[in-house]
Amino acid sequence: MKQPYLILWLFLAGFTKQPLFAQSKKSTTNPVAQYDAYVQQAVRDWKVPGLTVTVIKDGNVLLKKGYGIRELPRAGSGKSEAVDTQTLFAMASTTKAMTAACLGMMVDEGKLRWDDPVTNYLPDFQVYDPAVTRELRVRDLLIHNTGVGNADVLWAAMTIPSDEILHRMRLVKPSYSFRSGFIYQNIMYLAAGKVLEKVSGMPWHVFIRTRLFEPLGMRRTKALFGEVTDANRAKPHVTINDTVRAINSIKEEGLVDAVGPAGSVWTCPDDIAAWMQCMLDSGRYHNAGSPVKTLLKPATWAELFKPQTLVTDAEFYPTQLLTKPVWKTYGLGWFQQDYRGHRINYHTGSLTGMVAIHGQLPDQKLAVYVQGNLDHAELRHALMFRAFDAFALGLSNDWSADLQKLYGGLKQKARLAERKADSTRVLNTKPSLPLTAYVGSYTDPLYGKADVSLRDGKLYFSLNDVMTGYLDHWHYDTFRLAYDQFWNGKDPVSFILDAKGKVAKLNNAGLELTRVPDGPGKGLQSGK
């Protein structure tokens, strides 16, 4: 279904290239050395343990380097190993562009069309609205416009097979009308991976390895976290009370494999440079001593970067407050905006304790890829914009300082909002019932199962045996859950009583589950 506002593409093609910010004089020093020094200082300023930066310009690798360490030393663990160009980091959602390219290969082979109905390939796949199910196209799976809001609980807070994740999507109520808005959606990329499997005969993780990684010579890159066994890998870190801490989250890291096409790939600078170059050079690639080959036909490669839908302010990056884009769109696996009169394509990736960003300034044949091992370390944006300025636009804006101020302000607002919420607590109250009355199992066909037990005189909560922790009384029948997985912070858990004064439901930060009358283990375990 083509949308009228896609005439914006014509506007893009002829956009006036006038700088939005005052230019500085070009430095006579080596721009690569200058940028390298800038990265080193930014890593210290943002307190990021480890980072990699890869910069491609006009087919040449300008910079490919590791900074910092793979993991902060723990008590008695000794010195950590340095990050190098072979160190594996999570690509997270920068994987999405790869998934889109894999589907493009099937388009090139005539096995698939972007506007084919999804049910042609996945006849059992349904969303909440039957009319949307009928109209859903393959293209829609890639551009976050289906009307389905965030449903990441299906993979981030439970361990169910990917087919069951897709089955439960029929239970997710829409957040907006089909194709009338934009809400970022990971699970639709899982559906896209299933379409790929159907038309190619290979599971997504096998296809991407054999048809993308191997041709590009990406020998260290892994499609799934479960395949990452190399010791030379970055470990995740989070900031708790202004202190950076390494986290041991092997179980949680592996959850993303259930939605692999949305963000499970791990890679390193020595490999990612080939992918960056291929996406800059019309889908062309070549290995040493071999002729130039094409991963995608030119028309299909171009389709990946055409604006497909508008992105709302609420769903775009906070960096827009500084870059002030005139337009914001999403291609097939790429966010897009205007920057200093140029079009840029980029996408971030975020998993607990890990970040990435892949950015392109296509008319300057420039790309930058940044990976780090600190949760939501937004210096990734700073290093991308600084690279655009330094290697193509002849500018030297201090994006690191500007974005530290921006994101610092946003964090302060979040703290104030949290304090305001805390101020609503009613003191000197107690639960309506003895703690034993809250013990039991609670289920929902969408959200799974929560178990509440009594441990050491306190209530203990477990959601799908993934999210766990003690419940501290807050007020009335509301408790505050302090996660054992401390990086998840705290959430409210409220118990809802029925007309007879018995516990009927549980609400965990918006997830409502119904009490199982017959006690633990008797509830509905599946949406099937």
Give me the phi and psi of 482, to 5 degrees please.
Answer: -100, 105
Give me the phi and psi of 248, to 5 degrees please.
Answer: -100, 95
Whether residue 396 is found in the same domain as residue 470: no
Spatial separation of the C-alpha atoms in residues 356 and 365, rounded to whole Å? 20
Region of poorest pLDDT, from 45-54, 177-186, 244-253, 347-356: 244-253
What percent of the chain clears pLDDT 70, i.e. is strictly above it? 92
DSSP-derived 3-state class of residue 511: strand
Count of the separate structural domains present in the chain: 2
Which is more confident, 16 or 387? 387
Spatial separation of the C-alpha atoms in residues 9 and 329, rounded to whole Å? 10
The predicted pLDDT at position 29 comes to: 80
527 within domain boundaries: no
Whether residue 472 is found in the same domain as residue 341: no
Q: Which residues pair with 469 in a beta bridge?
A: 461, 483
pLDDT tens-digit map of 449-478: 999 999 999 999 999 999 999 999 999 999
**Averaged pLDDT, 125-134:** 98
How much helix, strand and coil, in percent to the nearest 5, is found in the chain? Answer: 35, 25, 40
Whether residue 188 is found in the same domain as residue 244: yes
Interaxial angle between packed helices 95-108 and 187-200, expressed in degrees from 0 to 180 and rounded to the nearest 10? 30
Spatial separation of the C-alpha atoms in residues 205 and 329, rounded to whole Å? 28
Whether residue 456 is found in the same domain as residue 327: no
Secondary structure (DSSP) of 417-449: HHHHHHTT--TT---SS-GGGG-EEEEETTTEE
pLDDT tens-digit map of 143-194: 999 999 999 999 999 999 999 999 999 999 999 999 999 999 999 999 999 9
* Band (250; pLDDT cuts 50, 70, 90): confident
**Residues 384, 48 contacting (CB under 8 angstroms):** no
Whether residue 189 is found in the same domain as residue 314: yes
- Nearest Cα neighbor of 453 from 506, 510, 497, 509 is 506
Spatial separation of the C-alpha atoms in residues 450 and 443, rounded to whole Å? 6
pLDDT tens-digit map of 294-304: 999 999 999 99
40 within domain boundaries: yes
Whether residue 404 is found in the same domain as residue 445: no
Whether residue 404 is found in the same domain as residue 495: no
404 within domain boundaries: yes
The predicted pLDDT at position 251 comes to: 80
User: Which residue type, as a one-letter code, is found at position 450?
Assistant: A
287 within domain boundaries: yes
**Residues 71, 80 contacting (CB under 8 angstroms):** yes
**Residues 159, 464 contacting (CB under 8 angstroms):** yes
The predicted pLDDT at position 520 comes to: 46
pLDDT tens-digit map of 41-87: 999 999 999 999 999 999 999 999 999 999 998 755 657 899 999 99
215 within domain boundaries: yes
> What average pLDDT does the structure give for the chain?
92
Tally the C-alpha atoms within 13 A of residue 473's C-alpha that lie toward its C-beta: 16
What percent of the chain clears pLDDT 90, i.e. is strictly above it? 88
Cα 446 versus chain centre, distance? 22
Spatial separation of the C-alpha atoms in residues 62 and 54, rounded to whole Å? 8
* Band (445; pLDDT cuts 50, 70, 90): very high
Q: What is the CATH number of the domain that holds 454?
A: 2.40.128.600
Q: What is the CATH number of the domain that holds 167?
A: 3.40.710.10
Measured from the Cβ of residue 93, the count of other Cβ atoms closer than 10 Å reads: 23
Secondary structure (DSSP) of 268-300: -HHHHHHHHHHHHTTTEE--TTS--EESS-HHH
112 within domain boundaries: yes
Q: What is the largest CA-CA distance in the chain?
A: 79
- Nearest Cα neighbor of 145 from 10, 331, 304, 360 is 331
- Nearest Cα neighbor of 90 from 211, 253, 206 is 253
Structural domain for 493, as ranges? 435-515
Whether residue 443 is found in the same domain as residue 328: no
Q: What is the pTM of this model?
A: 0.91
**Averaged pLDDT, 494-507:** 97
426 within domain boundaries: no
Whether residue 450 is found in the same domain as residue 331: no
Which is more confident, 13 or 392? 392
Whether residue 382 is found in the same domain as residue 470: no
- Nearest Cα neighbor of 357 from 96, 32, 40, 16 is 96
Whether residue 194 is found in the same domain as residue 333: yes
Which is more confident, 12 or 375? 375
174 within domain boundaries: yes
**Averaged pLDDT, 216-239:** 96
Spatial separation of the C-alpha atoms in residues 292 and 271, rounded to whole Å? 18
Q: Which residues contact 289 (CB under 8 A, 6 or more apart)?
A: none
Whether residue 303 is found in the same domain as residue 449: no
* Band (131; pLDDT cuts 50, 70, 90): very high
